Structure 1
Amino acid sequence: MEGDYDVDYQADTIYDGLKNINHNETDAYTQELRISSNNKGGIRWVAGFYLDSEEYIQNPLGMQYPYYDGSGVFYGNFDYLAESEMDTTTYAAFGQAMVPLTERFELTLGGRYQHIDKEVDVDIYSLPVGTTGLPFSSFSGEKDWDTFLPKAALSFALSDNFHTYVSYSRGYMPGGFNPFASSGTVEDNSFEPQKSANYEIGIKGRLNRLRLAANIFYMDIDDIHIYKSDGVNLYTDNADSAHSQGVELELAYKLTETVELTGSLGFIEAQYDTYEAGNGISFDGKDIENTPSYTATAGASYKHPCGFYGRIDMRAAGKTSFFDDANNSFVEDDAYVVLDAKIGYLTGGWDFYVYGKNLADEEYVTYFMSGTRHSLAEYGQPLTIGAGLRYRF
């Protein structure tokens, strides 16, 4: 991927004509060997091995900037760029067994052992635009992580159509290196894996034309990944601990043979428990960014045997926090509702359709980033109307 963007996303500034640069390339190989039982009853199991090898080349990542000395003398426009190569190798072995305990109780036990090794080489350049030269800083590092991720669940059949369950599992997001490593040790320029203990209790089933699923969950998170800036570079780091808890409900109802209604509702509280941001600043108790306080969907679909179909969908999200790095605080975007619709006709392998997205032209923020030079907010897609033609072989 090659991406070049305006540095400050503004006009008539000293950055006019300069750009942010993000050129990267990924080469990945993945292989999985899976063996499973073919029992329809009794004990069922699955086991296997997993291998993933990835080479990620960032060449380059950075920005262009006008260079002024302390007295205001202009020395020209400069590139501040990082060229890096990160090699990641992942090995894993996994297994799971479903064991009937009685006619109504079933126990599921599983686990995954995983080894991840990462190596990185980084060169940092600060040179006049259009020139070449030696890096002013280089960094090489290697780290590996081992983890075991267990899973246990117990389900109880209330009837032929409904069952309840309780489950426990461990979650994991790998650690890594930041691409702008200009000084310090391996520990200074890396971040640790994010780990979580996940608890859930729920019910699933169907009654005549109705399908439903509901659950209550709690996640206890350690070394949660955070994203911040040192004034120039954006990088990943860890906060000590956090938690997430909530309830979710999903429904589907077959109103007639041609009409189906669907809906979902979820409430979530996601907060940092311990987050020391440095310089005496604490974000303990703050909402985790990019996590709406609630989400909701509602939809109705129509499909006639002759080929005509239509669908209308609503999705809503509650207030969402974003980290304001420039001011060491959090900002909130208001709740919003988006309405989409689509109608079409199927015949043979052909699909003719027209659609509308965000029909009320709602404005809502999907991403926010702030720094010492500027802030950037990205919005969801505006009102979009289109038509399409598709053929399935």
Structure 2
Amino acid sequence: MLILYYLKLYVFCRLKVRKIRYNINDKLSLSSTTAHRKYEEIQANDWDFTADYANRMHVIVDSTHESLSEELKLNYENDKIKLVSGLFAETQDIHEVNNSDKWWKSSIQTSTSDSEIDSIGLFSHLIYKLSDKLSVLGGLRYDEVEQEYKDSAETIENSENELSPKLGLTYDISENIMTYATISKGYRPGGFNTGAAEGYSKTYDKETLYSYEVGLKGSGLGKRLVYDISLYYMNISDLQVYVYYPTTGGTEEIYGNAAEATSQGVEISLNFQATKSLNLFAGFSYNDISFDKYHDGTEDLSGNRAQYSPEYSFNIGALYRAGNGFYASADISGYGDMYLDPENDYKRDAYELVNAKVGYEAEHYDIYLYAKNIFDKEYDLLGHASGSYDIYSEPREIGVQLTYRF
């Protein structure tokens, strides 16, 4: 049996966030959020796909990730207008050391690489009340991304920008019920295929979509029941997908782009405060996403479902918090069939998981006894999407969790 061994360790992680808010007057305020994150990650991988532990193709990756971001927002509000405008800027740096031990090499091969991503976004969002019940909303965002990847063999650069508008209406049916309709444009940046073999693209394109959504939000039973229902339809251009091609010892995974795709579905969430201590919740979503136009260079995949997108998902559970600090929760989550490749040759069947947690919550610390996947459900990815190896599902896990707040 072919087994993939994979180990990931977060050796060091640091996150600092500073928030500042200044009230210029009773209608105008300025806020700033600064965040700095740095962590080191070590991955150990056995890529030879054999049942023994011989060093045929082992890879250890030691990487350091660091990012610094700043968001400035100017908020204005009066009886008719709510306006938020601002900018978001971020710089990310990744340094990676790759040590590979391969049977066809005479010694361990070491390589280093550096990646830098600089992004900036300007945005503005306005809600204007046309009447006591009807409001119009509009938004505009401009994004610009500069990316660079560098190793001993090459330097790859990529630059993108995108303008994303949004327009919508909201209507208050009653004091506790509102409905809305929106049209918006979304955007996901492209990136690099740094390990792509000769003849394959070193970059992949950005993904854009137009989203049309209608929904209903409300509360009832003395505001103890809160619900949210939405229907959506999306036209997607250059949908980012995984593409597999054969290499020595298995397959290689890179990103590609499907020409056009459509996504449509429904999302429902319910939250009920049954008693002061007991909260019940449930959610359901259905999503149909398929390629409208996509030829991967070998065959026409138009009409196939997009990969890594379950047909449906749901969760239902209960949470109990007593006034004396006692805590208990249990939930069931489920996922529908999901294809793993654009050709729709491999898929993971539907499955459900049961989790539970019980513990004590205090002012400065929490302690829990938890259980994940209580019934040890198997939901393996047999053959994976490349057909060369299996990925086994996480087994039942029972443990103790401690949280301390300084």
TM-score range, shorter chain: 0.7 to 0.9
Check conservation: 2:348, 2:381, Cα contact below 8 A: no
Q: What is aligned with 2:64?
A: 25
Q: How does 1:177-196 map to 2 (within 5 A)?
A: 177-180=192-195, 188-196=201-209
Rounded to whole Å, the distance in 2 between the matches of 1:371 and 1:211 is 43
Q: Summarize the Cα distance change of 1:82–1:274 in structure 2 as closer, same or farther, 3 Å threshold.
A: farther
> Which residue type is aligned with residue 358 of structure 1?
N
| Secondary structure, counterpart of 2:154 in structure 1 | strand
**Per-residue CA shift, 1:323-363, capped at 9, x if unaligned?**
18xxx553121111111111223345443332211111111
Q: What is aligned with 1:2?
A: 42
Q: What is aligned with 1:302?
A: 320
Q: What is aligned with 2:119?
A: 90
1:47 to 85, 88, 92: 85
Rounded to whole Å, the distance in 2 between the matches of 1:31 and 1:54 is 12
Check conservation: 1:84, 1:179, Cα contact below 8 A: no
Q: Summarize the Cα distance change of 1:350–1:59 in structure 2 as closer, same or farther, 3 Å threshold.
A: closer
Rounded to whole Å, the distance in 1 between the matches of 2:80 and 2:113 is 52
**Per-residue CA shift, 1:218-255, capped at 9, x if unaligned?**
11111111112332332111111111110111111122
Q: What is aligned with 1:251?
A: 270
Q: What is aligned with 2:378?
A: 363
| Secondary structure, counterpart of 2:51 in structure 1 | coil
Rounded to whole Å, the distance in 2 between the matches of 1:290 and 1:182 is 24
Residue 274 (1) aligns with residue 274 (2) = no
Rounded to whole Å, the distance in 1 between the matches of 2:326 and 2:95 is 48
Residue 66 (1) aligns with residue 103 (2) = yes
Check conservation: 2:381, 2:390, Cα contact below 8 A: no
Q: How does 1:73-112 map to 2 (within 5 A)?
A: 76-77=105-106, 83-112=112-141
Q: Summarize the Cα distance change of 1:229–1:24 in structure 2 as closer, same or farther, 3 Å threshold.
A: farther
Structure 2: any 5+ residue segments left out of the alignment?
A: 1-40
Residue 311 (1) aligns with residue 351 (2) = no
Q: Summarize the Cα distance change of 1:347–1:49 in structure 2 as closer, same or farther, 3 Å threshold.
A: closer
Q: Mean Cα displacement is larger for which, 310-319 or 225-234? A: 225-234
Over the residues paired in the alignment, what is the CA RMSD in angstroms? 2.5
Q: Summarize the Cα distance change of 1:211–1:8 in structure 2 as closer, same or farther, 3 Å threshold.
A: same
Q: Summarize the Cα distance change of 1:308–1:371 in structure 2 as closer, same or farther, 3 Å threshold.
A: closer
Rounded to whole Å, the distance in 2 between the matches of 1:367 and 1:196 is 32
Rounded to whole Å, the distance in 2 between the matches of 1:348 and 1:79 is 51
Structure 1: any 5+ residue segments left out of the alignment?
A: 68-75, 124-137
Rounded to whole Å, the distance in 2 between the matches of 1:142 and 1:229 is 23
Q: What is aligned with 1:170?
A: 185
> Which residue type is aligned with residue 318 of structure 1?
G
Query: How far off its partner does 1:146 sit?
Result: 1.4
The percent identity for this pair of structures is: 26
Check conservation: 1:368, 1:378, Cα contact below 8 A: no
Rounded to whole Å, the distance in 2 between the matches of 1:226 and 1:82 is 27
| Secondary structure, counterpart of 2:346 in structure 1 | strand
Query: How far off its partner does 1:40 sit?
Result: 5.4
Check conservation: 1:121, 1:139, Cα contact below 8 A: yes
Q: What is aligned with 2:35?
A: none
Rounded to whole Å, the distance in 2 between the matches of 1:40 and 1:306 is 42
Residue 197 (1) aligns with residue 203 (2) = no
TM-score norm. by structure 1 comes to: 0.84
Query: How far off its partner does 1:299 sit?
Result: 0.7
Check conservation: 1:139, 1:183, Cα contact below 8 A: no
> Which residue type is aligned with residue 143 of structure 2?
Q
- Flag the structure with larger Rg: 1
Q: Summarize the Cα distance change of 1:256–1:177 in structure 2 as closer, same or farther, 3 Å threshold.
A: same
When the two structures are aligned, how many residues end up with a matched partner?
360
